[in-house]
Amino acid sequence: MTDHKQRQREAYRAADPAEGPLTTDQGVVVDHTDDSLTAGERGPTLMEDFHFREKLTHFDHERIPERVVHARGAGAYGYFEPYESCAEFTRAAFLQDPSVRTPVFVRFSTVQGPRGSADTVRDVRGFATKFYTSQGNFDLVGNNMPVFFIQDGIKFPDFVHALKPEPHNEIPTGASAHDTLWDFASLQPETTHMMMWLMSDRAIPRSYRMMQGFGVHTFRFVAADGHGTFVKFHWKPKLGVHSLVWDEAQECGGRDPDFNRRDLWDAIEAGEYPEYELGVQLVPEEDEFAFDFDLLDATKLIPEERVPVRPVGRMVLDRNPENFFAETEQVAFHLGNAVPGIDFTNDPLLQARLFSYLDTQLIRLGGPNFAQLPVNRPVVPVRTNQRDGYHQTAIHTGTSYTPNSVGGGCPVIAGADGYAFSHYAERVDGATIRRRSPSFDDHYTQAALFWHSMSDWERRHIVDAFRFELGRVTSVAVRERMAGNLAEVDHDLSAAVAEGIGVPVPPHPGAQPPRTASPALSIANLRGDGSVRTRQVAALVCDGVDAQALTQVREELAAAGAVVEALAAHDGKVTGSDGNGYVVDRALPTVASVLYDAVLLPGGPVGTPKLAGEDAPMRFLRGAYRHGKAIGALGSGVGMVVALGPQGLRVSSEYGSVCSDQGVVTATATGPASEEFTREFLQAIAAHRHWGRPATRC
């Protein structure tokens, strides 16, 4: 355990020791806490009962204001280590020595919904990282999408008000499919690029462990000699980028509203530590104006084909918080938490966030001393002249002003030796105006780049998402305006959406943005290292199951890192074909195919065929098939696949053969599974989804 982790745990335990007798807040030992002090057994409660009053008072004041945005979150601790020194570009200490691990805390979140909303809503996801560096705390506060809705922070209150539930009825919760958001978007063409991302599968990630992160803005690296380089930050998950599909995400919201939060927690508890690679896109200062867009425009990205992402280090999350409120809820991120070697640019949205984040923490955490909370506390000494205020825990001595002589001049001002933070010396001059640069005017070229970079199935999902979202909008005028905006991106896209929402197809605008593509934007090209680690596989079993074959495949999948659970119509055990009992992990009524990544049908002489006539197992299998998930069927288990009636899907028919088609792997032999079957099934699971499957008859 690192020193920082140990200090955090000791701080929590000192404040709330777990062992020993129950006491009041003042340390007085309590002998009874089930009944209030009363005048007689049925008399009134007496106000002299200080224990009763203390408990109720504390309870009544337990809640703090939740975040206005990013209220629903999950967090984890870990560490970051660089691959090599980045001294050529930055003097940030945590990017210098590969042998030094910098502790981190990461918080993932949704944007729109309150703390009690579901994890799997269509929304942007926050990806905020606090680095506890040797130079002080650095907060990289980003999202799982590289661009944002607006260009100037003065619009942020308007955007969030439009995104949030409508004021008259507080509906919808955790959703973007309503009039006010789309009214705003249709009147603000600068939102178009981000709306394309929001309608894509990026907005419904399979897991926080399988989700990219981006710093969104263009920041600045500053080297020891004062030289600056523009930089964009990228987090890339080792397991690849994978998403849910929309109706699957909706069912997850009912089956397990904590789907992503639980997934992160369970993986860390199991020792399957999430890992991400930090990469940077570096742009020399002299190339600031070399692009056909403005680097300061937060609605734009730099195509990786133009500026490749350079890997600089990796982050591993290896510890869950011990108390959600104390850590995940009270962690305070702020873009202004910068360290020497990292500085800002004049991005107008970034400048607004530099004000807003600090301002938000003051109201949420009750004053300016939130940096003293253990989860926010730097690992380096803190010496300031700040004093007093709500929740002050430090006992200050000495002077509280600079300069001073009576205190020996302490704390001293650091010299100009490169150790202290110094802002990048950038010349800025001009008239005081309220006018955006014309270089921010192009709102459609990058939206078209995103659209043309998608695979066929990703485009289908985007069209379906627009149809669903705009189909929930009651204003026909808003629908028509939005269809008109999409026509500026791609007329075929606009026509497909317009037909689905019942408005006229907008006229062709004439000129269209270039039909260029960036393969790095497509999830289809971001499958990671091909691992199946932590993938959830459901094995459907019943009496008569071939327990030997199931055990063999289960062990082989587990050896590759997958998690296999046996599901049956009831808890307890089923009787295998060998007469022995086989333990059931979960009952089918408590789960659904949306909670798993693949399905295994192990078969058996009198086993799996019986399932084909039962509604619950077939409904489970149909869902997995429809959502493109890997399916493996052994022996008589192939009968369930045949019962689905997929027209044209090839299945194994010759005894002993293995057939793999569209992620459905079948083998008709009884007894132990072949190496070929296991290999093909693992490859099908690693691919995550298999689109283009033939339709089923049921």
Strands 125-133 and 136-143: antiparallel
Alpha helices in 536-663 (DSSP H): 547-559, 615-626, 638-644
Residue 103: strand pairing partners: 79
Residue ranges of domains in the chain, CATH in brackets: 3-60 (4.10.91.20), 73-369 (2.40.180.10), 446-525 (1.20.1370.20), 536-686 (3.40.50.880)
Q: What is the pLDDT of residue 657?
A: 86
The amino acid that residue 374 corresponds to is P
pTM for the whole structure: 0.94
Q: Which candidate, 5, 14, 13, 3, places its Cα nearest to that of 77?
A: 5
Q: What is the pLDDT of residue 606?
A: 44
Cis bond leading into 411, ω under 30°? yes
208, 243 Cβ separation under 8 angstroms? no
d(CA 550, CA 73): 37
Q: What is the pLDDT of residue 668?
A: 85
Q: What is the pLDDT of residue 508?
A: 95
Q: What is the pLDDT of residue 6?
A: 67
Residue 651: strand pairing partners: none
Q: Which residues participate in catalysis according to the annotation?
A: 70, 143
Residue 280: strand pairing partners: 233, 310
Q: 550 φ, ψ to 5°?
A: -60, -45
Q: Name residues of the chain where pLDDT drops below 70.
A: 1-18, 416-418, 605-610, 612-613, 670-671, 697-698
149, 159 Cβ separation under 8 angstroms? yes
d(CA 676, CA 656): 11
Residue with tokens 């030289």: 227
Provide the 3-class DSSP secondary structure of residue 271: coil
Extended beta strands in 585-696, E state: 586-587, 598-601, 630-634, 658-661, 664-667
Cβ partners under 8 Å of residue 648, min gap 6: 694
Alpha helices in 16-150 (DSSP H): 50-60
Q: What is the pLDDT of residue 607?
A: 44
Full 3-state SS string of 174-238? CCCCCHHHHHHHHHCHHHHHHHHHHCCHHHCECCHHHCCEECCCCEEEECCCCCEEEEEEEEEEC
A 10 A CB-CB count for 515 gives: 10
Element (H, E) at 334: none
